[in-house]
Amino acid sequence: MNIGFDAKRAYHNGTGLGFFSRVLIKLMAAHYPQHNYYLFNPKPGTLFQPETTNIREILPTQSLHKLLSSAWRSKWVTKDLQKLKIDLYHGPSQEIPRGIPQTGIASVVTIHDLFPELYPQDFKPIDVKIYRTKLRYACNYANKIMAISEETKGHIVEKYGTDPARIDVAYQSCDPIFNVIEGVDKKEVIREKYGLPQQFFLHVGTIIERKNLLNICKALKLVQEEIELPLVVVGKGSDYKEKVKQYLIDNQLEEKVIFLSDQLAARGKKPFIATEDFPGLYQLSTAMIYPSFYEGFGMPIIEAMSGGVPVITSTTSCMPEIAGDAAFLANPERPEEMAEGFRKFYGDASYRNAAIAKGLQNAERFSPGKYVQSVMNIYNSAL
């Protein structure tokens, strides 16, 4: 079978959708080597380096298509799909090309979340309009919709009236590097490289209101007399980050929160974490806290658990669905509940060890083999 992918994110996005696309493509090509995988990339990029011979990058060749590469990706690419005899096309980032139903080529679209629908105030009006147009088209015309959680599936049905029978849930798998328990020496190299303290709590995610960093900081204030551990924050931010920083200043908590990108920049280093260092970074932490108000999936939960790191997360959205009974669940509106999670993982070794064991077991639900099997089942049902 010839399988095509919208590969813009794989080649050009260094964060969420890029990680998702790269992991998906690599796992499918490795587990199902009998198929050919065509990556339709609107312009050259360097973030993805395929490692198997059954993956082929396709770039626009006509001058007009190169000049208007976004139009090629969103519509004109259908001619290339037909020319290459693509049997199935997968849009892994919430959209499919216009006109693909007329080609007779089966299509699958992955829907990760409905953030602009649920939180339109957090986006520019033009971005919300573009998002809705692309997503509605994909939900109306894709042969199959792949939702990354039951939570996301429910929102698609609620917001767009899509027939639930057209939507299958396929839980993601994290990059296999997170399943490796790093040795002491490797972790110490990472600690020194990024200037990390001996013990710390960890928060991973873009610094925006939905990720709830301010309430994490309020929880830290509640335990500041009991627990000396700082919080290491990995992620970028702007206005909301400044709001959090002002809270820290007002409450004399500046030394309790380390914004890792800022610290690296201050040391004259590149302000980001190398992908291969993330597992060790997680595993150096006492616990990872991720109390978002809403997520489509919550990948850091699985990344942490896969490496034996206990997790504090939310009672809301998809977090209980993904974390199962392996995490400490806290109401994201209540810093006092997060503070209790800090106390449990810092002061109760037996509780922490039990959570680690449960987390490793829970992570098996999201193994690469189970993931690619569920995706291939969706592909076959779309044909």
Q: Is the pTM of this model over 0.75?
A: yes
pLDDT of residue 118: 85
* One domain for residues 162 and 185: no
**Three-state DSSP state, 311:** strand
- Average pLDDT, rounded, for the chain: 95
* One domain for residues 86 and 188: no
pLDDT of residue 119: 82
pLDDT score of 121 more than 90? no
Alpha-carbon distance of 310 to 204, in angstroms, equals 14
Q: 84, exposed or middle or buried, with CB in 10 Å at 0-12, 13-18, 19+?
A: middle
pLDDT digits (tens, 9 = 90+) for 251-267: 999 999 999 999 999 98
Q: What is the CATH number of the domain that holds 191?
A: 3.40.50.2000
pLDDT of residue 275: 87
Residue 107 backbone dihedrals phi, psi, to 5 degrees: -135, 145
* One domain for residues 242 and 212: yes
Q: Which of 162, 40, 48 is nearest to 96 (CA)?
A: 40
Beta strands in the chain (DSSP E): 2-6, 36-40, 55-58, 88-91, 106-111, 144-147, 167-169, 201-204, 231-234, 257-259, 287-290, 311-314, 328-330
Alpha-carbon distance of 341 to 346, in angstroms, equals 8
* One domain for residues 166 and 182: no
Residue 50's pLDDT band (cuts 50, 70, 90): confident
In percent, how much of the chain has pLDDT > 90? 90
pLDDT score of 15 more than 80? no
- Mean predicted confidence (pLDDT) in 261-280: 91
Residue 95 backbone dihedrals phi, psi, to 5 degrees: -150, 160
* One domain for residues 36 and 168: yes
pLDDT digits (tens, 9 = 90+) for 309-362: 999 999 999 999 999 999 999 999 999 999 999 999 999 999 999 999 999 999
* One domain for residues 236 and 136: no
Which contiguous run of DSSP H or E holds residue 192?
A: helix 184-194
- Mean predicted confidence (pLDDT) in 238-260: 96
Alpha-carbon distance of 27 to 21, in angstroms, equals 10
* One domain for residues 224 and 138: no
Alpha-carbon distance of 326 to 126, in angstroms, equals 40
pLDDT of residue 115: 85
- Mean predicted confidence (pLDDT) in 23-48: 95
In percent, how much of the chain has pLDDT > 70? 100
Domain that holds residue 138: 2-173+368-382
Residue 48's pLDDT band (cuts 50, 70, 90): very high
Residue 221's pLDDT band (cuts 50, 70, 90): very high
* One domain for residues 158 and 29: yes
CB 310 within 8 A of CB 331: no
Alpha-carbon distance of 354 to 282, in angstroms, equals 18
* One domain for residues 38 and 164: yes
* One domain for residues 155 and 181: no
Q: How many domains would you assign to the chain? A: 2
* One domain for residues 212 and 344: yes
**DSSP character at residue 149:** S
* One domain for residues 227 and 105: no
pLDDT digits (tens, 9 = 90+) for 58-106: 999 999 999 999 999 999 999 999 999 999 999 999 999 999 999 999 9
CB 319 within 8 A of CB 305: no
- Mean predicted confidence (pLDDT) in 122-147: 93
